[in-house]
Amino acid sequence: MNVSSKLFSVVTVIALTGCTYNTGAPNQPATGALIGGATGAAIGTAIGHDTKSAIIGGAIGAAVGGAIGTDMARQERELNQQLAGSGAVITNTGSQLRVILPEAITFSTGSATVAPSFLPPLREIARSLKAHQNSTIRVVGHTDNVGSASYNDQLSRDRALAVARILIRDGVAANRITYSGRGFQEPITSNASAAGRAQNRRVEVVITPTN
Residue 87 sits in the same domain as residue 159: yes
Residue 191 sits in the same domain as residue 118: yes
Low-confidence ranges of the chain (pLDDT < 70): 1-67
Domain boundary among 51, 71, 91: 71
Residue 100 sits in the same domain as residue 24: no
Closest CA to 38 of 60, 69, 23, 68: 60
φ and ψ at 86, to 5 degrees? Answer: -85, -20
Helical residues (DSSP H) of 132-205, grouped into ranges? 149-169, 194-200
Tell me what pLDDT residue 115 has.
Answer: 98
Going from the C-alpha of 139 to that of each of 66, 89, 176, 201, the distances in angstroms are 26, 15, 11, 14
pLDDT (tens digit per residue) in 70-126: 899 999 999 999 999 999 999 999 999 999 999 999 999 999 999 999 999 999 999
Domain boundary among 29, 44, 71: 71
Tell me what pLDDT residue 68 has.
Answer: 79
Residue 139 sits in the same domain as residue 57: no
For the chain, report the end-to-end CA distance as a whole number of angstroms.
25
Residue 60 sits in the same domain as residue 105: no
Domain boundary among 36, 51, 71: 71
Tell me what pLDDT residue 211 has.
Answer: 75
Domain that holds residue 173: 83-209
Q: Mean pLDDT, the chain, as a whole number?
A: 82
